[in-house]
């Protein structure tokens, strides 16, 4: 099977010829990820051209970023070449001075004692470089060129040791392996939390040592096209996981569920259960923090494709209370279970709620209808002077109202109410008056007559209704006469007769009649 797949490709499937067997749907081809589940980025830089020299300008970082096999190869080759070069230089000095021909001559003083071939020169360099000092091979005072070479060897040896050993130490102390003990859930889920649709995934720390100042970020990797027609491959969009509320700052002692609320600002605002099957995106999760033991910054990464986002699922709880401590069951860390979740998107939900309902049309309440009726309630002496204002101050008062002013109290009430019933928008009957006013108008006696002069109730259309007392305020003040006032007049006031409260033209009209 493996050979057939290598020959015909990964999409090759064995078809069963048995008629009773059912044919399975073709498996969806696994697409290329931008970031692997272990956090490795699938990006390779090519065709650098002349930019390759930039790597040698930062040689230390270049060596640290190399893989371990290349680091070990460079480490071994550097020391081997350095030893061979320096041993060759000691052998050349012995050869030039002729020490190789007098190796066993006791009366001859060589530059380096007991060095008469290349292996002996190599052993002398190793003993000097490693500060072993066996005492058999040593440099003499009659070799100034050997002394200079010895000083150069000591300096270069210290530099090479510091460079290579420093690279190895930094590479070994890198917190990349610390990220191996930071876990992410295999799948992300979409379900409701606190009445809101949320995208959630889980993070955990396997070590007892804490991650100081742990912070989490999420990026949405998705290709898109701008309104101007520009195509943006692998466009990066930030996913809010609580940056404004501080929820992105984690206290990672026990497994935590990270939540991204899907709202109008979220790129998943129009994502539904059906559209999720046709989407192509990748969610990259980045967890950063300081390792408590070493004080170095650690970063752990993972990603979720659209196939790893489960709609309508929720994570199983992993915390349990034991005797004096809390236990975390990591066997259920990746487990989920289905929960009731609406299949439509948040956008569709808001559009559905924004549609007006026929049952939600506003109807006037009892208080509103009562207030509308109160706008049409006036006192007994309330009349409409809108026609007088249209005609000017010189308009004539109806003769019927003049006759009513001289009639009795009961006759005036009955006729004014009859006149007001013809124009319901200008006045209303005493039946619409409050009960207290009705009692006042029906009660006999001088006290009732004195209180009969009522002010107009406060209404919405105040300029359209005024009482005879208001007419007196808008007219020039006439000179009062000391003539007696009949007590039966309904327009009785403390100032005199009712005719005295009328304007001069109205009184002249009454006199002409």
For position 227, what pLDDT does the model report?
92
The DSSP line for 243-267 is TTTTTTEE-TTS-EEEEEE-STTST
Tens-digit pLDDT profile for residues 225-257: 999 999 999 999 999 999 889 999 999 999 999
- Band of the pLDDT at 331, cuts 50, 70, 90? very high
Q: Which of 100-114, 128-142, 454-468 has the lowest mean pLDDT?
A: 454-468
Tens-digit pLDDT profile for residues 377-390: 334 344 343 444 44
Query: Is residue 170 domain-shared with residue 249, that is, in the same domain?
Result: no
Q: Is 73 within a domain?
A: yes
Q: Is 158 within a domain?
A: yes
Please tell me the distance from the alpha carbon of residue 438 to that of residue 495, in angstroms, as a whole number.
Answer: 25
Q: List the beta strands (DSSP E) in 306-431.
A: 309-311, 313-315, 319-321, 326-328, 336-338, 382-383
Query: Is residue 225 domain-shared with residue 265, that is, in the same domain?
Result: yes
Query: Is residue 166 domain-shared with residue 285, that is, in the same domain?
Result: no
Q: Which of 21-25, 174-178, 354-358, 476-480 has the lowest mean pLDDT?
A: 21-25
Query: Is residue 112 domain-shared with residue 253, that is, in the same domain?
Result: no
Letter string b/e over residues 288-325, b meaning 16 or more CB atoms within 10 A of that residue's CB: bbebeeeeeebebbbbbbbebbbbbbbbeebeeeeeee
Q: Is 510 within a domain?
A: no
Query: Is residue 185 domain-shared with residue 165, that is, in the same domain?
Result: no
Token pair, residue 231, equals 């195509």
Query: Is residue 212 domain-shared with residue 272, that is, in the same domain?
Result: yes
**For the domain that residue 83 is a member of, what is the CATH number?**
1.10.287.70
Q: Which of 149, 174, 199 is the last residue of a domain?
A: 174
- Band of the pLDDT at 359, cuts 50, 70, 90? low
Q: Is 233 within a domain?
A: yes
pLDDT at 342 > cutoff 80? yes
User: Domain span at residue 240?
Assistant: 177-352
Contacts of 193 (CB under 8 A, 6+ apart): 200, 259
- Burial class (CB within 10 angstroms; exposed 0-12, middle 13-18, buried 19+) of 60: exposed
């Amino acid at each position: 099977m493996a050979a057939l797949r290598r020959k015909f490709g990964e999409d090759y499937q064995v078809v069963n010829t048995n008629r009773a067997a059912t044919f399975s749907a073709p498996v969806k081809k696994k697409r290329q990820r931008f970031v692997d589940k272990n956090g490795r980025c699938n990006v390779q830089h090519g065709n650098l051209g002349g930019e390759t020299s930039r790597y040698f300008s930062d040689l230390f970082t270049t060596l640290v970023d190399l893989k371990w096999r290349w680091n070990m190869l460079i480490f071994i080759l550097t020391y081997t070449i350095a030893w061979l070069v320096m041993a060759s230089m000691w052998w050349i000095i012995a050869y030039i001075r002729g020490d190789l021909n007098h190796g066993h001559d006791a009366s001859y003083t060589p530059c380096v004692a007991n060095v008469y071939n290349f292996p002996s020169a190599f052993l002398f360099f190793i003993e000097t470089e490693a500060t072993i000092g066996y005492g058999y091979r040593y440099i003499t005072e009659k070799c100034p060129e050997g002394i200079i070479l010895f000083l150069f060897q000591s300096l270069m040896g210290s530099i090479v040791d510091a460079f290579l050993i420093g690279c190895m130490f930094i590479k070994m102390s890198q917190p990349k392996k610390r990220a191996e003990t930071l876990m992410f859930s295999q799948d992300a889920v979409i379900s409701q939390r606190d009445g809101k649709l949320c995208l959630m995934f889980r993070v955990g720390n396997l070590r007892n040592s804490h991650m100081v100042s742990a912070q989490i970020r999420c990026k949405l990797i998705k290709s898109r096209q701008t309104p101007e027609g520009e195509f943006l491959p692998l466009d990066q969009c930030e996913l809010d996981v609580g940056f404004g509320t501080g929820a992105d700052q984690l206290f990672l002692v026990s497994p935590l569920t990270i939540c991204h609320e899907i709202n109008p600002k979220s790129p998943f605002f129009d994502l539904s259960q059906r559209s999720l099957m046709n989407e192509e995106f990748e969610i990259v999760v980045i967890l950063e923090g300081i390792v408590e033991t070493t004080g170095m910054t650690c970063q752990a990464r993972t990603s979720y494709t659209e196939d790893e986002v489960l709609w309508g699922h929720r994570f199983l709880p992993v915390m349990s209370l034991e005797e004096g401590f809390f236990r975390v069951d990591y066997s259920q860390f990746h487990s989920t279970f289905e929960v009731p979740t609406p299949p439509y998107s948040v956008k569709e939900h808001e559009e559905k709620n924004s549609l007006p309902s026929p049952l939600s049309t506003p109807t006037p309440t009892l208080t509103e209808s009562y207030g509308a009726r109160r706008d049409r309630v006036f006192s007994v002496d309330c009349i409409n002077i809108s026609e007088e204002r249209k005609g000017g101050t010189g308009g004539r008062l109806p003769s019927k109202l003049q006759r009513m002013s001289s009639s009795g109290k009961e006759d005036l009430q009955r006729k004014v109410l009859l006149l007001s019933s013809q124009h319901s928008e200008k006045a209303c009957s005493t039946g619409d008056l409050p009960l207290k006013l009705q009692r006042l108008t029906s009660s006999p006696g001088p006290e009732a007559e004195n209180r009969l002069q009522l002010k107009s109730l406060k209404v919405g259309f105040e300029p359209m209704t005024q009482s005879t007392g208001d007419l007196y305020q808008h007219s020039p003040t006439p000179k009062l006469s000391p003539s007696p006032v009949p007590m039966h007049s309904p327009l009785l006031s403390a100032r005199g007769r009712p005719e005295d409260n009328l304007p001069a033209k109205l009184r002249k009209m009454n006199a002409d009649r």
